[in-house]
Amino acid sequence: MIRFRERKSSMHAARTFMKVGSCSETMLNVINRAYGTPMELEEKAAMPMAGGILQHGYQCGQIWGSVLAAGAKSYRLYDDTPKAQAAAILAAQRIVDSFFAMKKTINCLEITDTDHTSTKWEMMKFFMLKGGAIGCFHLASKFAPVALADIETSLSQDEYSVPEGPVSCAAEMARKLGASPMHTVMAAGLAGGIGFSGGACGALGAVLWLKTIQRLEAGAETVDYRDEELQQIMEKFQRISDYRYECEEIAGTKFKTVSDHADYLHEGGCAALMDGLAMVDSV
């Protein structure tokens, strides 16, 4: 059954990418449907993560979407518990490792050579002249079954230590914003720059995703990279973090284990940053 789901997810990924237009939404969509649990609102809200968190070129949107899907599965298995957050983080670590093994990088900028500073011509050159769209479709079809297998493998492991909560900065950020238990666990794997990779801040990613959910619930048909409120959140984050985006630079360390990260949070790590971001409207 697992192998069938993986084969089906590979075929579904490219078709979904062509339909929805973003790699992050595609991966969350495909993996959710492999489990028979579509989440249209949450999937649509993942779109701004494409291009490496509002197109700044950090972690590929396929990683963001896959990790949110891992969190959703972990919530269904373990409810709103520290174990669910820890399991989501472990799945995120495996997903990041698999993506790096496939592309030798996890960053969108290094894959596409484009980011938010790129001109319209540079973007068009990548997607039209260099076959960038086809390359992204192909990558999605290859990575979807790998990410699904990583989630299955990680969440099937039941013997690992789980420290007392909070164990994830991104989940704690979601909690501070008043997110639902499910959304809190879904965000958990974004911790430490996604699976402790040290990349772009997972707490920031959680805020952008949850704010987009809120906008869609309020009736917005679409929320994209140019959305004024999301850009304001980015500007606020830049001021709080002294214009540092990556977790490893902000925290001054690259976390290795769930316990390491939990200790950091218990000692007040990133509290000022999360408190500042929590001043955005509740979600």
**pLDDT, tens digit, for every residue of 77-97?**
999 999 999 999 999 999 999
pLDDT band at 160 (very low <50, low <70, confident <90, very high): confident
pTM of the model as a whole: 0.90
pLDDT of residue 7: 53
Asked whether the beta carbons of 25 and 65 are under 8 A apart, the reply is yes
pLDDT band at residue 16 under the 50/70/90 scheme: confident
According to the model, what pLDDT value does residue 130 have? Answer: 47
User: Which of the pair, 123 or 219, is modelled with greater confidence?
Assistant: 219
Percent of the chain with pLDDT over 90: 70
Q: Do 24 and 62 form a contact (C-beta atoms < 8 A)?
A: yes
Q: Are 205 and 53 in contact (CB under 8 A)?
A: yes
8-state DSSP, 196: T
Evaluate whether 186 touches 49 at the Cβ level (below 8 Å).
no
> Please, are residues 140 and 26 in contact by the beta-carbon 8 Å criterion?
yes
Q: What are phi and psi of 128, to 5 degrees?
A: -105, -50
Residue 232: pLDDT over 90: yes
Query: What 8-state DSSP symbol labels residue 160?
Result: -
For residue 127, name the pLDDT band (cuts at 50, 70, 90): very low
* Angstrom distances, CA of residue 167 to CA of 59, 151, 281: 21, 19, 24
